[in-house]
Structures are given as structure tokens and as C-alpha cells.
Homo-oligomer: A and B are copies of this chain.
Amino acid sequence: MKRFGMFYKPGLEKVANKFVEKLKEQNYEISYYTSEEKQISDSSDCTLILGGDGTVLKAAKYVSSPIIGFKGGRLGFLSSYTIDEFDEFLLDLKANNFKEDVRQFLEVKELGEFFLNDVVAMREPSQKMIDINVRFGDGSFYFHADGIIISTPTGSTAYSLSLGGPILLPNVNAIVLTPIAPQFLASRSVIVPDHEDINITTNFPVHLVVDGRDLGLFDSFSVRKSSKSVTILRPQNYDFSKSIKEKMGYGKNYFK
């Protein structure tokens, strides 16, 4: 890897400047360097992303080459180093000593929009509970609820988890359906294989919030596996379960 792009969260410009300097010192090239997501391009061997998981989500969909996230404070799920660990990163880079963590995108078919975490279909606050019909392959479910989340394994530790959903390891080939505030106690998540096309219809239009961006009101949409995935480069000691333990205290040994 020789050429780097850099996308940073507004406010992290100084950090970005310092990183760019250090990279140039070591004779790496910088192909672009921006806080505007529209300027992200696929002209680099690797995109460095400064910010939290939200910043990584924004950048990931614009690139097909690998990404590496740097976060202030503690690690995010999608970041590989903290900002303070940039020198460790430079050593790993010199030795080309990374682990590949491939994450699969799903897409909202009608909108041509893909996502790494989830699409949330949610009633308007002024609206009553809605009827949601979910169809896939040879099956269907009905929910009377505030909405429904369709999530990737990556997104299983985001909003779906807040609603009682399970934790999926990133490499499970599955899609998670989690109803939001369902009537009839139907609050469990349903896990379907990711080769299924999932079609959702509602009796009133719902907001479609795709990886955090509200794309407007729809009463019908479908979700399927995207042809797109993204490779996150990680330090060799990266371990998904470690981030679950550290960030949530789930499955952690508090006695130790």
C-alpha cells in the first residue's frame, strides 16, 4: 500500500493534518484528504478514516479498497486503532501486518442504497402503530408494531441490540429482522439466510433510515444482499469478541 485517502470527521482536521504529515515523512502518497463525503474517491490503495463508527459508515460505501478507522478515546466496532495508536499503525503498515475483516453490505433494492449496519423502517411519531408484512422465500411474518429493523451481522450490535436482538459474529451469512415495539409479544429477532430477498410492506408510509440517513417515507421496499463488501484492515491482535466485552461488558470476566 502506497497511496492513501483520508476522510475525517469535521473537528478532527488537526489530527488529520498530523497524520498526513507523518505519512508523507515516510514517503507514502496522499491521494485525497477531506471531511466532505462526496469527495471520497476510490483512487487510493486504502482509505484512512478519522472518527467514530458513524464516520466509517459514511465513508465505507464510497470505496472498494480497504479501510482503516481511527477513533478518539476508546475503539469503536468499526475502528481498528485509537487516534493515539497512529504510530503502532505506521509500524503495522511498514510490516504490512494486518488482519482482513470483511463486512458484507445489504441494499434497499428500490433505492439502490446499500448499508453496512441497518435499515430502520419507523412510523412517524404522530402515526399509530402500523401493520408490517414481511415476506421472504417461502415464508412470511406479520407485525403490528412501531417499525422494524433489517440488519447485517455488523449492525446486530447497533440498534437491533437495543431492542433485544442477538449478537452475530461478523462472518455469519445472515440477515437479522427485529421488530420495534411489537404487539402480541412478538419481540424476538428472526434470523434469515442472507441469500433471501426480504420484502416489506406497511399500511402507512414509514421513514426509511438507512445507516442513519432518513431517506423519506415509503410503504414498500425490499432488502437483499449487496454485491458490495468492505475490507477493514485490523491489527493482528484484533478480536471481535474483545470489542463486545470491552464496549458492552457482555461475556466479560469481571472477577479477573
Contact = CB atoms under 8 A, between A and B. Distances in A.
A130 B144 CA distance: 40
A253 B142 contact: yes
Given A139-B240, A239-B138, A242-B139, A250 B188 contact: yes
Copies in the complex: 2
B191 A249 contact: no
Interface residues of A, number: 46
Given A138-B239, A139-B239, A239-B138, A169 B144 contact: no
A241 B188 contact: no
Contact of A191 (B174, B239, B244): B174
Contacts of A141: 241, 244-245, 250-252
Contacts of A165: 166, 188
Given A141-B252, A172-B174, 11 more contacts: A131-B255, A140-B241, A141-B244, A141-B250, A143-B251, A165-B166, A168-B191, A169-B192, A185-B249, A186-B249, A186-B251
Interface of A: 131, 134, 138-144, 153, 156, 161, 164-169, 171-174, 176, 184-186, 188-193, 196, 239-242, 244-245, 249-255
